[in-house]
Amino acid sequence: MVSQIWKFLKHFDFNAVRSGKFPFSEIEREVLPSLATLNGPTTEVVLFFDVHACTDITGFGIIGHALEMATGRGVQIFMQYKKLPFYSAALDMYKKGENTGSNKTNQKLVVTKLKLSLTSAEEELLYVSQTSGGILLSLPEKQADDFLAKLAGNRVARSVKIGQVEEAEAGVVVR
């Protein structure tokens, strides 16, 4: 299971700037370059690998789209929370009370198929809807390192292995 960094929290970050909880200089440095990156370079690399499932990360957040993949394939996805490519200030913004309007709805969509052991602020980051999000995909474990190297060679920043897929009842586990 590999995730390209999400061009994450577009509305969330800008809302945080408006409310005074996040400096615009941080958006300029970390968020805007990612928002300007297209998924085309990732698509060029994907064509050379045995991708089992793939989705963009948009309105349902990473967890909603991961569940969509798990349900479609009849598998369980295990994600490592510490490997998820959040922006550096994202968790701090949630701790300061910044939120999006879609989190509650997205949480209701996945709650019965989700197992978590996170703080409430950490959990909230999983539900954030995205505008122009990155890509979440599944490919054979033995191809993951080569895939990540090829992405890096194709100027795709911050792509990481975030977990694994196992044959089990469809759902998502985040550790």
**Global confidence as pTM:** 0.80
- What is the structure's pLDDT at 45? 92
What's the pLDDT at 38? Answer: 65
Domain residue ranges in the chain: 2-174
Output b/e per residue, 109-127; b: 16+ Cβ within 10 A. Answer: bbeebbebeeeebbbbbbb
Residue 90: per-residue pLDDT: 77
Residue 8's pLDDT is 40
Q: CATH classification of 2-174 is 2.60.120.1270, yes or no? A: no
Residues in the chain predicted with pLDDT less than 70, given as ranges, are 1-17, 22-38, 131-133
User: What distance in Å separates the CA atoms of residue 41 and residue 97, rounded to the nearest whole number?
Assistant: 35
Q: Position 46: which residue type?
A: V
Nearest residue to 68 via CA among 142, 147, 133, 154: 133
pLDDT of residue 22: 67
Neighbours of 30 (CB within 10 A): 15
Q: 167: Cβ–Cβ under 8 A, 6 or more apart, which residues?
A: 75, 76
pLDDT in tens, 119-146: 888 998 898 877 666 789 999 999 999 9
